[in-house]
Amino acid sequence: MTRASHTRGGGMTLSKDGLPDWLDPVVRAAETVEPLQLSRFLPPADGRGRQSAVLILFGDGDRGPELLLMERASSLRSHAGQPSFPGGALDPEDGDPAADGPLRAALREAEEETGLDPSGVQLFGVLPRLYIPVSSFVVTPVLGWWREPSPVGVVDPNETARVFTVPVADLTDPVNRATTVHPSGHRGPAFLVESALVWGFTAGVIDRLLHFAGWERPWDRDKQVPLDWRS
């Protein structure tokens, strides 16, 4: 069982022991999904890109399964103001990007950004590495079970505007689903939840997880929400 009481040094492993039954479809999806089934944006073959990791943390909330998200500060240079999974670039101290470096980075970044206690998180899977062209991040999505929830909130207002959880039931509700159209013409899934518009990389990963876990419900893909919806 992954009990990361610290996020630097020491080996880390993945474990499916003791997970709740409702996570079984997510476990299966992580074990079988192919990279191109998640995104058409995959890491460059020449190795370019900044290695990074995000923590996709499932918890058991008042309304059932939920995901931990945060909203990035509007002053950040990349992905400003966007809701996202906790995460960021690997530090040298995190270790080998091809081994357990992303596991350690995902927990470290989540602790730094939300204040969660990594010792209460059990890591159980890793999705294929994906690519964010606009920031050149090569992202390893790390799946976790919030076995022992801890208080979370904004640690550094310069990086994070807020920290919140979203019930999976709200993410699967067709009323909360829409399609965004980027000025570049790129279309992608979006979720209107917790007074936030979740779009881009984060929404794409959530969309594919819901689909391959068998949780997706039919929704109106012609419903569009502009990316400047706040203005």
Domain membership of residue 154 (yes or no) is yes
Domain membership of residue 196 (yes or no) is no
At 104, which CATH number?
A: 3.90.79.10
Number of structural domains in the chain? 1
Domain membership of residue 189 (yes or no) is no
Domain membership of residue 59 (yes or no) is yes
Q: Identify the domain containing residue 150 by its residue range.
A: 19-165
* pLDDT tens for the 231 residues of the chain, in order: 333 434 444 568 899 999 999 999 999 999 999 999 999 999 999 988 999 999 999 999 999 999 999 998 766 555 557 899 999 999 999 999 999 999 999 999 999 999 999 999 999 999 999 999 888 999 999 999 999 999 999 998 888 889 999 999 999 999 999 999 877 778 899 999 988 999 999 999 999 999 999 999 999 999 998 876 443
Is residue 51 a contact partner of residue 101, using CB atoms and an 8 Å limit?
yes
Is residue 164 a contact partner of residue 211, using CB atoms and an 8 Å limit?
no
